Amino acid sequence: MTEITFRSDMRVDYVQHTGSDEMVARAARVSTGSDLIENDKIKGLIRYLVRERHTSTLEHCTVTVRVEAPIFVAREWMRHRVQSFNEASARFSAMEPVFYVPDGNRPLVNAGSGAHPDLQHSDDDGQMWRGVNVAHQNVYWKAWAEYQWMRDAGIANEVARNVLPVGIYTQFYATANLNNWFKFLHLRDGNEGSPQYEIVEAANKVAGILEELYPVTYGVWAELNGRGGDD
């Protein structure tokens, strides 16, 4: 039987991007008939644009990332329909035996409700985590054995894949403009609402990529939205 790999991380890798902080400023200035702007004035203009929600100027910048995450994270991510996605197909190719198991830092107990979850650590987190870990691994081993049996028997991938749990890792590309990446972060970076633990980890990796690519625009957005950023 193929060896199974257990992971708890969300991987988000930069692929490509277009635009820059300067592009955001130039897109705004073209309305005045002059789309050139001195570098020392870019930050002030971008602050105004973000504060007043002139967000069309952000849409000239795009970023593509490649994500490795469990299927349950991918499905939540893909609810953001303003992004473009392409995902590995379990119909046309065999899945890899890589499965998600929560690590010891993940809160396990919901002290809230179904509609308003409030995940917290418990007094017996160590014992609880070990039980959760064993439960995940038992299911994964069984599911993977049945999946391999069907494929070895000549059963089509699109049938064999039905037994695989949502904890198996998938890979996909996601592309969005800067305005829609900020909307994604607003809902998923953990600073507001109650997003799922795993997608918060992934969203914060997206934030790191955006901060590196568009330091002025990201810094202003982060500051104005309570995420820190430049003064």
- Which residues form the catalytic set? 188
**Burial track 140-174 (b if 16+ CB lie within 10 A, e otherwise):** beebbeebeebbeeeeebeebbeebbebbbbebbb
How far apart CA 27 and CA 124 sit, in angstroms, is 55
How far apart CA 219 and CA 39 sit, in angstroms, is 16
How far apart CA 28 and CA 36 sit, in angstroms, is 10
| Tokens 């991918």, located at residue | 74
CB 161 within 8 A of CB 179: no
**Which phi and psi angles does 209 have, rounded to 5°?**
-70, -45
CB 71 within 8 A of CB 170: yes
